[in-house]
Amino acid sequence: MGARATSIALCQLGLCLALWPAAAVQASPQDVIGLGVRSSAMAGAGPAISEGFEAVYTNPALLSTSRDRAVSLGIVGATFQLEAGGPLPSDGLAAATFGAVLPIPLPEPVAKRVVLGFGFISPFDLVVRSRILYPETPQFLLPDAVESIAAIAGLGVDFEYFRLGGGFQALAALAGTVLVSVDGSGRLSAVVQDTLVATFAPSVGGSVELPYGLRLGASLRGALAGRFDVRIDVKDLGQLTIPPIFVSGTAQYDPLNVEAEIARVSGTVRGALAVAYRRWSDYPGLAEPTVRCPLDVQTFDLPNCKATRAIAPDFSDTLRLRGSFEGALGLRPGLDLDLRAGYSFETAAAPEQTAASNLFAEARSVFGFGVGVDLSEPIATGFSLGAFAQIGVIHGRDHVKEAAAYGPNLSTGGSMFAGGTSLGVAF
C-alpha cells in the first residue's frame, strides 16, 4: 500500500473513532429519584416503611407485607439545571413506570406469606445513554444516571415477627468488536459486532416488628456497574501496525449501599428516620485506557507499561441521611387521603477538582412532597392514585486549580426537579 493510501486510511480511522458513540449502560434512575410515587415523595424511604412493589428496591423483605395481588402504572420525569463555571447542558428524563406484587398461592399456614415483586422504569426515547467526555470538560455524574432502563425483581417472606427478602437489579452492558480494514483502493471498511449482555447486582433485606407500632428495617444493595467494552482491530495497513484499540469503561455506577431505617408504621401519622453508607470509594471512573499493555504469556499478568492511563477519580465513601413523614386523613367513607414529605442529604463523593479533571459528584439535598388517594367500599375497591414532586439542591463549591495549566477555577452548583404520578389496582 502506498503512503498516500495509508494516510487516507489513518485519517478515516481517526474520523471513525471520533464519531464512535460513547455507548454505555447507565446506572439506575431509582438511585437518584426513587422507585414509586410513595417512596419518592418521602425522599427515597425506606427499608422499614415501604409498601407494595416499591419494596423490591428499598427492602425486598417488605414485599411480604402485601396480601393481595397489585399492579401499578405511572409516569416520571426529571430535569436538571447544573453549573460549573457557567451553565452546562443536560438532558432530563421522561419514562414510564410499572410495578407488581404477586403473593404466591401456598397452603396454610404460609398462605400469602411469600410474595414476589417487580419494578421497571423505561424511558420513552432511549434504552441507554451516556457521555464520556475529555477529563478537562466539566461533567456531572447525576444527569446521565437517570437515562436508562431499570429492572428489579425480588421475593419477601413473612415470618410473623420478622421478615426476610432478597432480589436483584439488572441492566444491560455492551460488549463488541470492530474490524477495520483497507482495500487496495485505500477505502476504509468496518465490520461491527456488538452485543447487549445483562449485568446484575444482588439485594437483601430484613425487618423486625417492635413494640408501639415501630419497625426496624435494613437492606444491602450490591454495587451495580454498567460497563462497555468494544475492541477495534485495524488490519491491512501494509508495514504499519496499529495495536488493538479499546473503547471501554464504566459509564455510570451505583455504589454498594447499606441502609438502616426505623419507622412508625401504624396509626394515622407515620414516619421514618434512616441512615445509609454508600461505598463510592470503589468507583473505577468513566474511562479505561484506549491501548492496553500486552499480556505476559508466562504469568498471565497485565504489566504496567507506558500506555496512557485514565485519571483516577479518587472518590470517597458517603453517608445519606433521611427523614420521612406520612399522614392519613379519612375524608369520607371509602376515601382516604395521604400526605407525604421527606428530606435526604448525601455527602459529596468526588474530591475537589484541583488538577486537570473536572468530574463532579457534589453533596446533594432532596426535598420530597406527595399525595395519595386510596379508594375502598362503598366507592370502589382496590384503587389508588398517587403523585410526587422532588426538588434537589446540588451543594456546589469552589474548585481551585493547583496550576494555571489545569484551566480556570470553577464554581459548581445546580438543582433538580422531578415529578410523577401513578395508578394502582389491587385484586
Each residue's pLDDT expressed in tens, for the chain with a length of 427 residues: 444 444 444 444 443 443 343 333 334 788 999 999 999 999 999 899 999 999 999 999 999 999 999 999 999 999 999 999 899 988 888 999 999 999 998 888 888 899 999 999 988 877 666 667 778 889 888 887 777 788 999 999 999 889 999 999 987 777 788 888 877 777 778 888 877 777 899 999 999 999 999 999 999 999 998 777 888 888 876 777 788 888 887 877 899 999 999 999 999 999 999 999 999 999 988 777 788 777 666 666 656 666 677 778 899 999 999 999 999 998 888 899 999 999 999 999 999 999 988 989 999 999 999 999 999 888 888 899 999 999 999 999 999 999 988 999 999 999 999 999 999 999 8
Domain of 130 in residue numbering reads as 3-426
The total domain count for the chain is 1
Asked whether 53 and 34 are in contact (CB, 8 A), the reply is no
Determine the longest span between alpha carbons in the chain, in angstroms. 87
Residue 17, pLDDT score = 42
CATH of the domain at 139: 2.40.160.60
First to last CA, the chain: 72
Which residue do the cell numbers 371509602 mark?
Answer: 334
